[in-house]
Amino acid sequence: MSSITPVILGLLAHKPFSGYDMKAIVDRSTRFFWAGSYGQIYPELRRLEREGLIEGEDAPNGGRTRRVYRLTAVGREALREWLLGSATTIEYRDESLLRLFFADALPREQALQLLAGRKHGHERYLEVLRAIGTPPETDPTFDQLVLQWGIDFNEWGAKWCEQQLQRLRKQKAA
């Protein structure tokens, strides 16, 4: 499986979609923790179709070429195997955090600006995630739980950045 395979199989487990539809869904859901670009999605759709995990059907939309895909039984089993697999990798790539890691190479005020920019980034993410919705208190779906994780994480991130900014500014004043 490539990194985009479980995203495609997972989306198609819900209902048939075109590659364009999948990219739109990714842009407002999994991209916050698992990116997927057109450059990944379309080649992977062709590969998965060749391997029999998905089936595509031409469904032109006006003058546009469009292909809608659905999950096959083999694809559903591959998704199930991945979901129940024993390997669980948490790999987090965060360019802002990497810059902050090396911020001692900058003058202090510029380094503090990086930290303030990170705080602002968390706040912007919060706006986007809250616009998606707030999970219900009772009986949320698992995708809603992941949304809540994103909200909680970014609330914590913004608060942490503010605490560190205050701490570092006090040190400078002392």
Q: Cα(120)–Cα(130) distance, rounded to whole angstroms? A: 15
Nearest alpha-carbon partner for 75 in 43, 42, 47: 47
Phi (first) and psi of residue 69, to 5 degrees:
-110, 150
DSSP annotation of 67: E
Residue 174 confidence (pLDDT) above 80: no
**In the chain, % of residues over pLDDT 70:** 99
Q: Tell me the residue type at 23.
A: K
Q: How many residues does the chain have?
A: 174
Q: Which CATH number is 5-83's, of 1.10.10.10, 3.40.50.1820, 1.10.1840.10, 2.102.10.10?
A: 1.10.10.10
What tokens appear for 56 in the block?
Answer: 């595509």
SS3 content of the chain, % helix, strand, coil (to 5): 65, 10, 30
Instruction: Report the 10 Å Cβ neighbour count for 44.
Output: 23
**Average pLDDT of span 8-24:** 95
pLDDT at position 67 = 95
pLDDT in tens, 79-91: 999 999 988 888 7
